Amino acid sequence: MEEERFTELLAKKLSGDITPDELAEFNRLIAGNTSFQKEYELIRSYWMQDDEPYDNMVGILEKIKQRAGITDIDENTVSVIEIHSPKNSRLWLRNIAAAAIAIIALSACFYFFRIYSPGHPVSARLTELKTNNGSIAKIRLADGTLVTLNTLSTLTYPKNFTGKTREVFLNGEAFFDVAKDHSHPFIVHTNQSDIQVLGTAFDIKSYKNDPQFEATLFRGSIQATLKDNPTIKVILKPTDKLLIQHTSYSLTKETYFDDSNTLNIETAWMNNKLVFKNEPFEQLANSLERKYGNNIIFKNDLLKSIKFTGEFEKEDINQILLSLQIVTRFNYKISGNNIYIF
């Protein structure tokens, strides 16, 4: 457990995401363990070499994995990890390395037993993959299903699927391209609905702080069971979009940004684009918080319902807010990590 904790704290320190208490704990660990000291000095000195290529990082990460006893992240489980956001290429490489170490730390620390199933309790050994602000991850599950995980999302899944079903848990947003297996239905559990499929492609958006749950089908067929009313089962066909708010639901169609039908709003995030159409400011603020890591606080509640339409890709949050000000009159103030809208 001490080695796993050291790996977790090391990842946080390298990525700059360590708290003062965690830093004190980290310093105590390396002070009392020669092996930890050597490993930290090796990686830290490598981290500081701005003029050297990063070819050796794979070897360093492999040593960490071997020391921690981690063998679960391989080509059969995680095929791609992509981190979108840094503009500076060297900073980008460092962030990827930090993210890779963080993923290793997560795989070491987040194996757990969880009880859940719609009709009967099931105990399974599951792994969590989490994304940070502004990051996107891709993972290929053991059955061949490819999952693209949006920012600030968590996918909980087994290393290997056993039994009659393939079940995963999602908090946040993800695009699923499910491998066909008619004998083993694929089920995605969220806080609002359970989605069951055989082989299909669809997007699920289920953030806890968003006002509604969304499921959009692009290929195949899915069945959604409402958590608050399990007797309601909704069948979706391609281009259908399911919206759930509390105990009510509605069906609509996938959304395109304009009449050219080339930019799909439901999946634009997979290309690191922020696209919205007639979206309330409050809901847009949630997306901005997840993408940029700021806390957005409305000092005037009337502004929450103002609707915006826009498309952004490389702009920072200040540029986006300045653009929105052109459309609607409002003011904002940035204080540390908080943004006040008034």
pLDDT value, residue 58: 45
Predicted confidence at residue 134, as pLDDT, reads 87
Give the pLDDT score at 223: 93
Q: Which residue has the tokens 């660990």?
A: 29
Q: Decide if pLDDT at 250 tops 90.
A: yes
pLDDT tens, residue by residue, 85-120: 444 444 444 444 554 544 444 444 443 333 333 433
Angle at 325 between CA 320 and CA 326, to 5 degrees: 100
Give the model's pLDDT for residue 215: 96
pLDDT in tens, 144-160: 999 999 999 999 999 99
Q: How far apart are the C-alpha atoms of 153 and 261, rounded to whole Å? A: 27
**pLDDT for residue 47 is more than 80:** no
Model confidence pLDDT, tens digit, residues 162-180: 989 999 999 999 999 999 9
Distance from C-alpha of 236 to C-alpha of 196, rounded to nearest angstrom: 11
pLDDT at 27: 87
* Percent of the residues in the chain that have a pLDDT greater than 90, as a whole number: 51
Helix (H, G, I), strand (E, B) or coil at 150: coil
pLDDT at 42: 65
Q: Which long-range contacts (CB under 8 A, 24 or more apart) does 108-115 make?
A: 108/4, 108/7, 108/8, 108/68, 108/69, 108/70, 109/4, 109/5, 109/8, 114/156, 114/169
Contact 333, 339 (CB under 8 A): yes
Contact in structure between 131 and 155 (CB atoms under 8 Å)? no
What is the pLDDT confidence band of residue 32, given thresholds at 50, 70 and 90? Answer: confident
- Top mean-pLDDT range of 61-65, 107-111, 266-270: 266-270
Residues 210 and 287: their CA atoms lie apart, in Å, by 9
CATH of the structural domain 112-253, one choice from 3.50.50.60, 3.40.190.10, 2.60.120.1440, 1.20.58.100? 2.60.120.1440
pLDDT per residue as tens digits for the range 270-310: 999 999 999 999 999 999 999 999 999 999 999 999 999 99
Quote the pLDDT of residue 14. 64
What's the average model confidence in pLDDT over 127-140?
A: 92
CATH numeric code, 273-341: 3.55.50.30
Domain residue limits, the chain: 2-109, 112-253, 273-341
Phi, psi (rounded to 5 degrees) for 9: -70, -35
Query: What are the pLDDT digits (tens) for 221-243?
Result: 999 999 888 888 999 999 999 99
